[in-house]
Amino acid sequence: MSTTPPPHTTGYFARHIFFCLNERDNGQDCCARHGAQAAFEHCKNLVKQAGLAGPGQVRVNKAGCLDRCAAGPVAVVYPEGTWYSYVDTSDIDEIVESHLKNGKVVERLLTAPELGR
């Protein structure tokens, strides 16, 4: 039996990385208060500079709340479904270089599995 997926299920992009950019104005914590916008922009620029952007490659996407606020700021890479909790732009550098460029998960930045909302 063939393991090749049917054409309609093949990805236009090889990977997406979604950044939660959610901002709450009710006093509750949110990724936007922890540098999410800057991290998103940094990632987008890096991916572009590295020549990784475009069809067949990587797409950097904005997202609303990803429902893992307790682990924020968070970003998730698909199709692997790898969740990252980052602190600063050097963490983003590592995610881009290791995971988005070379397919190697950055273990030290993985979101703790028990952390949700």
Site size for ligand FES (CB under 6 A): 11
Q: Which stretch binds ligand FES (CB under 6 A): 10-18, 41-49, 53-61, 62-70?
A: 62-70
Q: Which stretch binds ligand FES (CB under 6 A): 47-55, 67-75, 79-87, 96-104?
A: 67-75
CB of 102 to ligand FES, least distance (A): 26
Buried b (16+ CB within 10 A) or exposed e, 20-58: bbbeeeeeeebbbebbbeebbebbbebbeeeebbeeeeb
Q: Does residue 69 bind ligand FES (CB under 6 A)?
A: yes
- Cα 27 from chain centroid (whole Å): 25
